[in-house]
A = this chain, B = another copy of it.
Amino acid sequence: MNLNVDGARLLRDLKELSTIGNVGKGGSRLALSEEDMAARRWLRDRMEQAGLDASIDGIGNVFGYTPGAERYLLIGSHTDTVPMGGWLDGALGVMTGLEIARAFMAAGAPGPVGIGVVSFSDEEGTIVSLLGSRVFGGSLTWDEVAQAKGADGRTLAEARAAAGLADAEIARIDPQRHAGYIEIHIEQGPVLESEGRAVGIVTEIVGIRRARATFHGRADHAGTTPMAARSDAAQAMFAFATAFRDFVQTHGGPNTVFNLGGAKIAPGAFNVVPERAELLVEYRSPSLEALDRIEAAMPELAQVAAAQARATGSVVLAGGEPSAAMAPSMIGHLTRAAQRLQLSSRTMPSGAGHDAMSMASQIPAGMLFVPSIGGRSHTPEEDTAPDDIVAGLRVMAEATGTILEEFAAGK
């Protein structure tokens, strides 16, 4: 199936969407805010203009289906943003889906298989991270999240009512009807740009684990207490930081990354031996075994580090996300599409979470990355070269054609 997509039209759509919630160079469409809902209604209108059956469900997810099919390939992402975010994060995936659906409609290709375009709600976690895709995919229920509160103190139920969604039904995935999902997204990292590649084909979205490493010492006078008589929580924390880094570098395996993103020392004075120290620990890996290995090692790393400083140490887990493998069938479609278009590509894990995570446990899911200039995202400076955006659109359209042929063949 040949889908004749229009790159210039996609770029115009993206620019128009970026004016909703635009603030200076940046844009803010926090989930379920007035700006977010204005963008979702704009999207629904665009879908209808393209001839799709369009709707906004009770949690803010926007759907647009080509009419008449029994089985759909979902193409999408999200149109909400972080505060002062960029113009492509999420929006690229949704508007690419709409452009492909328009090409599908123009090709006059009605039949048993079609395209569903989707913008999921609150991917960025203003209230609940990956909210729309997780509720649609079934890994969260409305009852589990209705009382969740955002940074402004509103519950999700209140935000939903304020957005005028309280009476609308909340859609749920039907694997008979929704046969697959693909998403294009900016990489949000420097790999494709530094290697000069047009697209990256995501093999898996890494799993994330978080923990707090806490150390307890004794607050003594930092002048009169001999070094050997101190129980120093900060020295314990510094030793743990080094040991943790060494462990991940040695035993973390490929594509595992970590971040020690925050620390507190109390009481925090020049002249008092630290009594308490806490370190924020996060690590990500496509390998469940690597995540488990690091998690299992941390308590002993903390204890050994603390013992060096005559302190005590412990580790409390603080949540995370399981990894999600992309479907080999979708990886194949995207890889062959890039090859046919003679675009340079590579496979790579995604270090960030995406709506595709929520789909991957239910239906075959695939993801395509395009380069981020300077690796930057979640900032008004976020950008991708127009040629790279159009190349990504063409790979997605090419892959859509072969995926729909596969669906039609009943595979």
Contacts from A to B (Cβ < 8 Å): 187-191, 194, 206, 208, 210, 220-227, 229, 232, 234-235, 238-239, 241-242, 245, 257-265, 268-274, 280-282, 284, 318, 350-353, 375-378
Asked whether B257 lies within 8 Å of A222 as measured between CB atoms, the reply is: yes
In angstroms, Cα B269 to Cα A378, docked, is 14
Which of A194, A257, A281: most chain B Cβ within 10 A? A257
The residue in chain B whose Cβ has the minimal distance to the Cβ of A252 is: B227
Residues of A contacting B: mostly: mixed
A261 engages B257 (CB within 8 Å): no
Say whether B189 contacts A375, CB under 8 Å. no
Given A268-B280, A282-B271, are A225 and B375 also a contact pair (CB < 8 Å)? Answer: yes
A263 vs B269: C-alpha distance in the bound complex, in angstroms?
9
CB distance B260 to A235 under 8 Å? yes
B235 A238 Cβ-Cβ under 8 A: no
Q: What's the Cα separation between A206 and B257 when bound, in Å?
A: 44
Measured between beta carbons, the chain B residues less than 8 angstroms from A264 are 263
A206 CB to nearest chain B CB (Å): 7
Query: In the assembled complex, which residues on chain B have CB atoms less than 8 Å from the CB atom of A190?
Result: 225-226, 229
Q: 19 new A-B pairs (CB below 8 Å) besides A259-B270, A261-B270? A: A189-B226, A189-B229, A190-B226, A194-B229, A223-B257, A223-B284, A223-B350, A223-B351, A225-B257, A232-B259, A235-B241, A238-B238, A242-B242, A259-B273, A261-B269, A261-B274, A262-B269, A262-B274, A270-B318
Chain B residues near A259 (CB-CB < 8 A): 222, 232, 270-274
Expressed in whole angstroms, the minimum distance between the Cβ of A100 and any Cβ of chain B is 25
Closest B residue to A260 by CB, please name it: B234
* In the bound complex, CA of A265 to CA of B273 (Å): 19
Q: Which residue of B lies closest to A190 (CB)?
A: B229
Across the interface, which residues of B come within 8 angstroms of A270, CB to CB? Answer: 210, 259, 261-262, 280-282, 318
- Determine if A234 and B208 form an interchain contact, defined as CB atoms under 8 angstroms apart: no
> Which residues on B sit within 8 Å (CB–CB) of A284?
222-223
A220 surroundings in chain B (CB, below 8 A): 375-376
A269 CA / B210 CA spacing, docked (Å): 11
A–B pairs, 6, beta carbons within 8 Å: A190-B229, A208-B223, A221-B351, A224-B377, A238-B242, A263-B263
Name the CB-closest residue of B to A191.
B226
For A375, list chain B residues within 8 Å (CB).
220-221, 224-225, 229
Residues on B with C-beta less than 8 A from A265 are 261-263
Q: Knowing A226-B257, A241-B238 touch, does A221 contact B280 (C-beta < 8 A)?
A: no
Identify the closest chain B residue to A222 (Cβ).
B259
In whole angstroms, what is the CA distance A224 to B353 when docked?
A: 10
Contact A224 B261 (CB under 8 A): no
- A272 CB, nearest partner CB in chain B, Å: 6
Residues in B with CB closer than 8 Å to A226 are 189-191, 257
B257 near A268: Cβ-Cβ < 8 Å? no
Contact check, A378 vs B262: say whether CB atoms are below 8 A apart: no
Q: With A and B bound together, what is the CA distance between A400 and B197 in angstroms?
A: 85
Asked if A378 and B221 sit within 8 Å, CB to CB, the answer is: yes
Q: Are A224 and B187 in contact (CB under 8 A)?
A: yes
* Chain B residues with CB below 8 A from A189, complex form: 221, 224-226, 229
Residues of chain B within 8 A (CB-CB) of A318 are: 270
Query: Chain B residues near A273 (CB, 8 Å)?
Result: 259, 261
A284 CA to B232 CA, complexed, in Å: 17
Q: Let me know if B263 and A224 touch, CB within 8 A.
A: no
* A145 shortest CB reach to chain B, Å: 21
